[in-house]
Structure 1
């Protein structure tokens, strides 16, 4: 039951990331369409989407952070297999445990400070500097959620590897 819940959370993070990428595509395509309209119709038909570059940046940050846990659990994070491929299975497992423990700690540290930053943005009423002023805590929430999911995924993978007594992350190219 918990396995299904965690996998659903990771998949939901990946889905949010995919939607954010789709939003970037739609936003940029709409602005390109408006640019073409201005070229064809002249200055009277010149329109722009206010702060579209800012929104694209917010969506990119959301996509990047929300995809982290899903890509980790899917085995598509970049790995340096040059060393791993030369180790025996026990040494590979030991290196994976060390790496997962360190990654869990670093991710938890980053999560704590990202949430603190979001809290400060909320407290001080920080706004983006574009034409459309957006409270910064809104896009920062996606960073926080993605980092929480990543920390959870690292911890989950560490526990799973300890229980299995073997490496559990397979490179997507190996599967």
Structure 2
């Protein structure tokens, strides 16, 4: 075997490595919506077609119970909907957590910011006053209690070796070695 490294082998290895970068570098966001948020989706003024694809899950109301997450190339977001005034003042009516690419601006956060929240008070079609707080954040699982998930996830992956991100990286390295050995 020659000690020189042909350019075509190097390019093949780089191509394979680059194919797996999105899988290994994707940010994860929790994705869920509480039942009342989905039932009252259009009443709250949320984007019309989007709510149809989500499944009601009241565990979305509790940071400790949320589990569903998706890869995301934009900031993560949380929408908190609370009642304003009356006997239910301050009561949480609904929560939506998702990747921000489907919703309103910002598509990115201001430089140096890890979190940005905006609130607005609205009156629903049934004359109920609500406060909607849109929070955007940068970082994996930042739209929930990420530290709980990360701790559980990392201790599981260290014990079982089932971390999907490291598995993808291992496959990339394995593929490069196979290409080197077969050339």
Structure whose residues are more often strand by fraction = 2
Q: TM-score, normalised by structure 1?
A: 0.27
Structure ranking higher in helix proportion: 1
Larger Rg: 1 or 2? 2
The normalised TM-score by structure 2 is: 0.27
